Chains A and B, each alone.
Chain A
Amino acid sequence: MAQPSRPVWRLKVGEEAPDFELIATGEQAGKGGPRNKIRLSDYRGKKNVMLAFYPAAFTPV
């Protein structure tokens, strides 16, 4: 078996953030609001965004 040669994908500071559209819990979470779709580029020209990836719901921090 050949070793995989493709490098692990890493983004760098200064690069454009890949856009996405994902199902969200609404504008808040856990407050019973209707689900919506949130697109990263919706914030362009309006707000800075902090993307916080986390391993799983119901895991202790």
Chain B
Amino acid sequence: MPSYEEDLSEFERRNAQVLGISVDQAFSNEAWAKSMGGLSYPLLSDNWPYGYVCVQYGVLRGEGRAERAIFVVDQQGIIRYIDVHDIAEQPPTDKIMEALDKLR
């Protein structure tokens, strides 16, 4: 997650809002973000009912954590790009930017 902070101007240039989502509670996300010096985008808690949004997006893992996954949604609410990534890796930002470029 932290790496998107560096790319924030690139997202802004493409009129894109970054939303981080995990099953953590809001206080955990806030403390984590604070430990990194803060983030310019919100972290959302898919915690009640637990993992409900993750299930709807098909990214809840067996052990109850979210996959590392990216969904680019356009202004009409349509999914334009999906990347479900190996949990240890960060999805490639250049591919995300390419997907956003097509929306402009």
Contact = CB atoms under 8 A, between A and B. Distances in A.
A14 to B, nearest CB: 7
Given A16-B78, A28-B42, A29-B41, A54 B32 contact: no
Interface residues of A, number: 46
Given A14-B79, A40-B73, A61 B90 contact: yes
Contact of B100 (A9, A19, A50): A50
B55 A9 contact: yes
B11 A50 contact: yes
A54 B68 contact: yes
A1 interface: no
A45 B35 CA distance: 34
8 contacts: A29-B29, A29-B39, A40-B77, A44-B75, A48-B14, A48-B15, A50-B11, A53-B69
Interface of B: 1-4, 11, 14-24, 26, 28-48, 52-59, 61, 65-82, 87, 90-91, 96, 100, 103
